[in-house]
Amino acid sequence: MKESEADETFFLESHQGERDLDHDPRKRGGKASKRGLSKEQIPVLIVRDREGHTTDAVLESANTKEVTKVVSPLIDKDILLCTDGNRIYQAFAKAQKLTHKIINASRGEHTTEGAYHIQNVNAYDSRLKNWIRHFNGISTKYLESYLGWMRMLDRESNLSPQKVLAMSAGQIDGVYT
């Protein structure tokens, strides 16, 4: 049975570069006006299998309906899904009839039953956040493009400028896709 890990991460909404805002612009690198999750936070779903295949999606909101819409077409029904204790994934796994292992890091759990963990997806989340930080904030309208760029960097270890240009043109190994 293949194992996949899922987690969500959040990015502060940004309208960097936009002129006609319906509110005062936030100062450079600013913070959300409210602590915790709010409408100012953009949810991004990350799903990784143990072989390093990654998919991600900017969600309209962090709920079971959105997760189902994104993940259902991409997964086999015989996978084992490892997640944190978020109820979104519990409901999703139940509705899809998936085997689901919950790892509760807030209780100090990092593995369950010796082999199941979410360290792979959490490490990717951390690399993604650190990489995005180098840009000093990005506009939310370009977030999906940055996610794709990160997937490419994570997947390819030997990138030259020529290879990046060929990949962006849809050419892989001399063949257009």
118: exposed, middle or buried (C-beta count within 10 Å: 0-12, 13-18, 19+)? buried
**pTM of the predicted structure, to 2 decimals:** 0.79
Confidence of residue 64 (pLDDT cuts 50, 70, 90): very high
Work out how many domains the chain is built from and give that number: 1
What CATH number is given to the structural domain containing 167?
3.30.420.10
Confidence of residue 14 (pLDDT cuts 50, 70, 90): low
User: Under 8 Å CB-to-CB from 132, ≥6 apart: which residues?
Assistant: 11, 138, 146, 150
Indicate whether 43 pLDDT > 50: yes
User: Under 8 Å CB-to-CB from 76, ≥6 apart: which residues?
Assistant: 2
Give pLDDT, residue 105.
Answer: 72
CA pair distance 89, 81, nearest whole angstrom: 9
Confidence of residue 160 (pLDDT cuts 50, 70, 90): confident
Cβ atoms of 15 and 138 within 8 Å: the answer is no
CA-CA distances (angstroms) from residue 14 to 28, 34, 49, 53, 130?
10, 15, 30, 28, 17
Amino acid at the residue 75: I
Give pLDDT, residue 13.
Answer: 77
Domain residue limits at 108: 3-176
